[in-house]
Structures are given as C-alpha cells and as structure tokens.
Chains A and B, each alone.
Chain A
Amino acid sequence: MATTATRATAAHGAGGKATKHPHDVPPVLRVAEPPAELAREALVLNNRSLGWITEAIAGICEKPMPKWWWPVFLLSAGGMTMMFSLVAYLIATGVGVWGLNQPAAWAWDITNFVFWIGIGHAGTLISAVLFLLRQKWRTSINRAAEAMTLFAVACAGIFPVVHTGRVWYALYPGFLFPVPNANAIWPQFRSPLLWDVFAVSTYGTVSLLFWYVGLIPDLATLRDRARTLIRKFSYGLFALGWTGSNRHWCNYEKAYLIFAGLSTPLVLSVHSIVSFDFAVSVVPGWHTTIFPPYFVAGAIFSGFGMVLTLLIPMRALFNLHDIITTRHIELMCKVLLATGSIVGYAYGMEFFIAWYGGSPYELYAFKNRAFGPYWWAYWSMISCNVISPHFFWSKYLRTSPVFVWVVSIFVNIGMWFERFVIIVTSLHRDYLPSSWGYFTPSWVDVFTFVGSFGLFMTLFLLFIRFLPAIAISEVKNVTPQADPHHPLGGAKGHH
C-alpha cells in the first residue's frame, strides 16, 4: 500500500520533505519518485491530518443534526408510515387492492422487489469486490454504500412477502423456509422462487455482518469520544470491547477478508437467481439465457446510480469534499458507463436473438415491448439507461457533481422501468390472444412504492445520524500518515 500513497502525496506538494528520505536507506535501494504527470490524485485532499478525519466524520453523529435534517426525516418517516398503512390495508383486504389481474399477476410488486434488490448490489461490489481488487478509493464510500444495500434489501423484502396476500403463510414455516409444520407441506426445491428466498436472505445476512464487522473499530472510536453514559453504553455494547490492540486488528483484518470473499460471489449470484425467477419460466420475453449477466450488470448500474444519488448531496451537506472527492464521483461514473453499456448491449442482443431464434412468440413479445401498448415504458427505459450513461465519456461532465446527480436520478428511473417492462409487457400478452390483458396500477400500488422510498430514506437518515457514514479507520489507512515509510507517516509528530 505504500507506493500509491507515497506518490500521491509527493505529487500533491508535501514540499521539499518528499525528496529527503526519513530512513537511512542506501541510495541503491531507493526508488526514484515517479514523474509528476504519472502521480495519482490523493484520496484525501488537502493533506488532512488523521485527527481532522476523525473529527469530520465522527462529528456528524455527535453534533446536533443540521436544520434540513428534521424536515427531510419527517417527510421520509411520513412516507414510511404511509407504506406500512397501505401494507396493513392490503393484508386486511387482499391483493385485489393492487391493480394485478390475469394475465398480469405480477406487476409493480415484483418490479419494486427487483428494483430494490438491484440497488443493493453496488454496496456489495464496492465493499467486497473493490476490496479484493485493492481499490483504495472504496474506503470513502463503502460504509454508506453498504448501509444503502441493507436498507434496499429491507425495502425489497417487503414486496414478495406482501404479494402473497396471506402473509402469515408466507412467513409461516413451510411456505418459504423448509421447517416441519402443521400443514405437512415442504417448499418446492426445484422452483427458482425458493432459490430466491435463500439468495436474498443469505445476501441480507452476509451484508449485515460484513457491514457490522467493518463498523467495530469506528464504534469504538465513537464510544471513546462519547460524553453521555447512554452513548458510551450503546456504542460500547456494539464495539464488542474493541481496544485497537494488535491482536484485535489481526483478527479484524482476517474476518474482513473472509467476509469480502463470501460477499464477492453474492454480487453475481443474487441477481442471477433473481433473473431465474423469470428465465426458468416459459413466458416469451422471460425465457432467455442472457438474463443472469444482464441482470447483474443492470443491478450494479442501478446500485451505483443510487450511491451517487445519495452521496453527492451527503458530501455537499456535510462538507465532506476532501474525503469523497471529485475523483470518487468520476470513478463511479466510469462504472456507470461500463455497466450501462453492458445493459444497452443486452437490450440490443435480446432483440437480435428474438429475430435470430425464429420463435414467433419470442419475436412478438419484443415487438410488443417496443411498439405495443406499453411503448412509453420501453422508450423511457431506453432513454434513461442507454443514452444517459454515455454522457460520461466526457471528463467535464463526469466531474460536474450536479450533472452527475441528475443523470443518476435518470438511471434510477430507467432501471425501475426496465423491470416493469420485463415483467408487465411479457405477461400481459403471452401465447393466447384470448387471454391478453392490460395492467393499470391502483392508487395503492403507487403509494406503496412511493412509501418504500420513505422507509429507505428514514433508515438512511437514521444511519447518518447515529453511525459514522464513512469508514474512519479505513480512510485513515489510505492516507500518507498511515504509511511508516512516508515522510509524513509514523509517529513523527506531523499530525
């Protein structure tokens, strides 16, 4: 880890100190400093000290929240309450309060489920895959992205449970989980819907544990800085007696690496299995082998869209520009560009295969997508997902936070429409024209979905309020001060 940080600070102007090596190393062993044009931009700008980093991040959850927090929180909590009220209304009345019908027995419910589950994938990619690939820029954004993953999974979990109508059977053992029960029934292990239950619950559990393990050193920091007994007690309880000893760090690093290893396959497997919900069926428009990679790319695309939607305002409102830098935003835009291009390719390839495959039903399903009664949904999806990421070929555009933020919203909209298009346009007209139909959402559909954003934002705002939104110890790790071989590093009184 030494080289990057060393070069970074050297280029950033640590002044004449960078040329004078602090240790007595023979000249032959010294590595020449790279030329300035090859140096990477520092991950923490303005050469901030370790103390400043702690103060900037821990301070957010110690000082009173800024003025905007309460109105936004109340609005979100109101949305959440609305969603739970509508869920209660549905449970009391039946799934008929939604606009579902035959043949469109899945519509907004499963659309919302896939939408929210997909968003979670960015968090896992950032926390696990980028960790294994030693991408140090992840440290500034992984905590918030992982939190976002958990909250998105919480929102996602509601819809498939509620869409069964008799939710007590969905939660009751035997329906979803293989537990002996009074109905003497057993889940169908050949059904991808059951694989989905396991995929999503594994995903939720591993993400939670990974997030929590990463939080432990920071919780101890908050405990040590706490002034009231309640804060000391509650942060102390979850800090698990962390003292920052060498042994603690050894165990921590091992556990973190193991969780990164466990989470990495989940980035690919969870959304592959979600895509099996469709691909394993025989519905034209669903039964395609491209679905797993196409869904995974789409999930990462939507997830990075949501990370940008959340973090760009967060860094502005809490003045975190030195930690979440423009370079971070730029790198995330590149991920959007890459995954967005994969998604666009998949859209094209689906059409090609529909024609090349020679199945009239398949071809009709795709013609109907683009030019049938739901043409507006299809072209909304295309404009948001295929066109918008290509703005990021321009360095100027991907380094303008406001522009990036606006595009990230379009990505979110486009990815919701993608799931709607896949689910509803395929279902509403399948093999038999006599059983064709049209789906229109009811007001309950609409407000339940809107309310799920309330739940998501409520959880995220509480997270910002009570937990360090950026991984303090990890960010410190990528500063030059953490590097004992660096002129600024080690215990030399520079910080």
Chain B
Amino acid sequence: MSDIFPKWTNQLPLMAGVAGAVLGLTAVAGITYFVTPKYTRVGYQPKQPVAFSHAIHADQLGMDCRYCHDDVDKSWFSNIPSSSTCMNCHSQVKKDSDKLQLVRDSYASGKPIPWVQIHKVPDYVYFNHSVHVNRGISCVHCHGEIQKMEEVYHAESLSMSFCLECHREPEKFIRPNELVTKLDWKNEGFDGKKAVHDWKVQPGQSCSTCHR
C-alpha cells in the first residue's frame, strides 16, 4: 500500500475521529447554549416610551400588581393598564413631570402608549394567566422579581422545559392563593402537596394542554 498512501495517512483515522468529536461536541454545545431561549430571550430589555419603574410602584409604594393589571385573575390575558389608570394618581402626584408627558398626551387623545412587549409565548402556545394566579402560582415565577426592576427585562426563559418543570411538580411552586402578588414571599412551612390535592390542581402534560 505504501505506493499509494504516504506514511502520514496512518494518522488519518485518528485525525478524522478527533476532528469529528471536536466538531460534534462544538455543535452540540453551541446549539445547547446559543439557540435555546435561555440565550435568545433572557435579558431582553427594550427601551420603553415611558420610564416606568416597577421598583418604585410595586416595591417602594407596595402597590398590588392587580391595581394596574386588573384583569390578570379574570382573563387569559394580563392587561397593560390604560393611561387613565396612571392618571388616577398622576393627575395629582408629579402632575407636571416631563417624564409623564406621554401619559398625559395619551390620556388626552385616547391613543394608547406604545409599550414594547417583552414577554411573549409563540403563536402555537396557549397560556392562561387567570388559571395560574387563581391556583397559587405567583407572577414572580415567570416574570422574575419584577418589584426590583427599574426597567423590566425578560428574566426567565419561558421555554417549554420551563413550563414543564412546574407542570410536572406543581407542589414545589404553589403558594397560598391570596399571596400570589406578594412578590417577596418566602415559603415557611406551606404544604404544597396538600394545596395541590385540596385545590384539585391538575396541570396537564399532554401536547394539547398548551398546543391547542
């Protein structure tokens, strides 16, 4: 064979094996890290038209989430408050602030403030807010510690595995229903298993639970 193959070709199988392993591992690691929602979504923080601070409103002032997002426990959709909700207070508080000019314009004209949507599930996913917040699943699980955010960013991946993590073991995430909007709640002795049983929490795991 030596007239066809020079000596270095003895190394070919080894070289091919090493190259294949390196390429394969790089591809797997690269896709796992860069292509999943953990990378593509978490940290997304678009500039909003009005510099609304959840930290001031939800944490410092201690307002309940449902003061503004008042449909979250009645509807599949968690509504973004209209500017008239803002004006309930801001007609008196900081009523001349430049930062609130857009809110006052919107209130006067009736045209909504063009907020930039951050959290969004794909078209082929059905998600219902009310069924979650009425069974002891807090805002904080999906939206992160929103009461600490000056500007809202995408804190969790909201990937399929993220949803399934809780659907498979709801007792680890459930809390007293009246405390779903108490964002800094710490579990001190609440029996999740009992709650799941008593409230008949049956999170589906079949495809059609979410992909309807």
| Given A182-B32, A182-B36, A236-B161 contact (CB < 8 Å) | no
Among the interface residues A182, A185, A229, A241, which one has the most CB atoms of the partner chain B within 10 A? A182
**Do the beta carbons of B161 and A182 come within 8 Å of each other?**
yes
Instruction: Determine the chain A residues whose CB is within 8 A of the CB of B159 once the complex forms.
Output: 182-183
> Whose C-beta in chain B lies nearest to the C-beta of A243?
B1
**Do the beta carbons of B1 and A183 come within 8 Å of each other?**
no
> Whose C-beta in chain B lies nearest to the C-beta of A183?
B160
> Whose C-beta in chain B lies nearest to the C-beta of A226?
B4
**Do the beta carbons of B4 and A232 come within 8 Å of each other?**
yes
Nearest CB in chain B: distance from A43 CB, A = 33
Q: Looking at the complex, which one of B4, B161, B165 makes contact with A233 (CB distance below 8 Å)?
A: B4
Instruction: Determine the chain B residues whose CB is within 8 A of the CB of A236 once the complex forms.
Output: 1, 4-5
Task: Check A184 for interface membership: any CB of B closer than 8 A.
Answer: yes
Interface mask (B30-52 → A, CB under 8 Å = 1, otherwise 0) = 00100111100000000000000
Nearest CB in chain A: distance from B112 CB, A = 33
Task: Check B18 for interface membership: any CB of A closer than 8 A.
Answer: no
Task: Check A223 for interface membership: any CB of B closer than 8 A.
Answer: yes
Q: Looking at the complex, which one of B32, B160, B165 makes contact with A185 (CB distance below 8 Å)?
A: B160
Nearest CB in chain B: distance from A399 CB, A = 45
Task: Check B56 for interface membership: any CB of A closer than 8 A.
Answer: no
A229 to B6, CA, bound (A): 12
Instruction: Determine the chain B residues whose CB is within 8 A of the CB of A185 once the complex forms.
Output: 160, 164
Instruction: Determine the chain A residues whose CB is within 8 A of the CB of B35 once the complex forms.
Output: 182
Q: Report the number of A-B residue pairs with Cβ-Cβ less than 8 Å.
A: 27
A233 to B165, CA, bound (A): 54
**Do the beta carbons of B160 and A233 come within 8 Å of each other?**
no
Interface mask (A229-243 → B, CB under 8 Å = 1, otherwise 0) = 100110010000100
> Whose C-beta in chain B lies nearest to the C-beta of A233?
B4
Nearest CB in chain B: distance from A105 CB, A = 15
Nearest CB in chain B: distance from A169 CB, A = 11
A232 to B9, CA, bound (A): 14
> Whose C-beta in chain A lies nearest to the C-beta of B160?
A183
**Do the beta carbons of B164 and A241 come within 8 Å of each other?**
no
Nearest CB in chain A: distance from B42 CB, A = 13
A232 to B38, CA, bound (A): 50
A222-272 interface (Cβ within 8 A of B): 223, 229, 232-233, 236, 241
Among the interface residues A184, A236, A241, which one has the most CB atoms of the partner chain B within 10 A? A184
A241 to B35, CA, bound (A): 43
Q: Looking at the complex, which one of A184, A223, A229, A232 makes contact with B160 (CB distance below 8 Å)?
A: A184
Among the interface residues B4, B38, B159, B160, which one has the most CB atoms of the partner chain A within 10 A? B4
A93 to B34, CA, bound (A): 25
Instruction: Determine the chain A residues whose CB is within 8 A of the CB of B165 once the complex forms.
Output: 184
Among the interface residues A183, A229, A233, which one has the most CB atoms of the partner chain B within 10 A? A183
Nearest CB in chain A: distance from B27 CB, A = 12
B124-172 interface (Cβ within 8 A of A): 159-161, 164-165
Nearest CB in chain B: distance from A235 CB, A = 9
> Whose C-beta in chain A lies nearest to the C-beta of B207?
A185
**Do the beta carbons of B5 and A184 come within 8 Å of each other?**
no
Among the interface residues B1, B38, B159, which one has the most CB atoms of the partner chain A within 10 A? B1
Instruction: Determine the chain A residues whose CB is within 8 A of the CB of B36 once the complex forms.
Output: 182
Instruction: Determine the chain A residues whose CB is within 8 A of the CB of B160 once the complex forms.
Output: 182-185
A241 to B32, CA, bound (A): 40
Nearest CB in chain A: distance from B40 CB, A = 11
Instruction: Determine the chain B residues whose CB is within 8 A of the CB of A233 once the complex forms.
Output: 4-5
B170-212 interface (Cβ within 8 A of A): none
B1-15 interface (Cβ within 8 A of A): 1, 4-5
Interface mask (A211-223 → B, CB under 8 Å = 1, otherwise 0) = 0000000000001
Nearest CB in chain A: distance from B1 CB, A = 6
B26-81 interface (Cβ within 8 A of A): 32, 35-38
Nearest CB in chain B: distance from A246 CB, A = 18
A261-307 interface (Cβ within 8 A of B): none
A223 to B1, CA, bound (A): 10
**Do the beta carbons of A223 and B4 come within 8 Å of each other?**
yes
> Whose C-beta in chain A lies nearest to the C-beta of B162?
A184
Instruction: Determine the chain A residues whose CB is within 8 A of the CB of B32 once the complex forms.
Output: 182
Q: Looking at the complex, which one of A184, A223, A229, A232 makes contact with B161 (CB distance below 8 Å)?
A: A184
**Do the beta carbons of A183 and B161 come within 8 Å of each other?**
yes
Nearest CB in chain A: distance from B38 CB, A = 8
A182 to B32, CA, bound (A): 7
Nearest CB in chain B: distance from A84 CB, A = 22
Instruction: Determine the chain A residues whose CB is within 8 A of the CB of B5 once the complex forms.
Output: 233, 236
A166-200 interface (Cβ within 8 A of B): 182-185
A369 to B120, CA, bound (A): 47
Nearest CB in chain A: distance from B69 CB, A = 28
A233 to B35, CA, bound (A): 40
A463 to B9, CA, bound (A): 26
Instruction: Determine the chain B residues whose CB is within 8 A of the CB of A241 once the complex forms.
Output: 1
> Whose C-beta in chain A lies nearest to the C-beta of B163?
A184
Nearest CB in chain A: distance from B97 CB, A = 44
Nearest CB in chain B: distance from A373 CB, A = 31
Show 15 A/B contacts (Cβ-Cβ < 8 Å), sorted by A: A182-B32, A182-B35, A182-B36, A182-B37, A182-B38, A182-B161, A183-B159, A184-B160, A184-B161, A184-B165, A185-B164, A232-B4, A233-B5, A236-B4, A236-B5
What 8 A-B pairs have minimum CB-CB distances, sorted nearest first? Answer: A184-B161, A182-B36, A183-B160, A184-B164, A232-B4, A236-B4, A183-B161, A241-B1
Other than A183-B161, A184-B160, A236-B5, give 20 A-B pairs with Cβ distance below 8 A. Answer: A182-B32, A182-B35, A182-B36, A182-B38, A182-B159, A183-B159, A183-B160, A183-B164, A184-B161, A184-B164, A184-B165, A185-B160, A223-B4, A229-B4, A232-B4, A233-B4, A233-B5, A236-B1, A236-B4, A241-B1
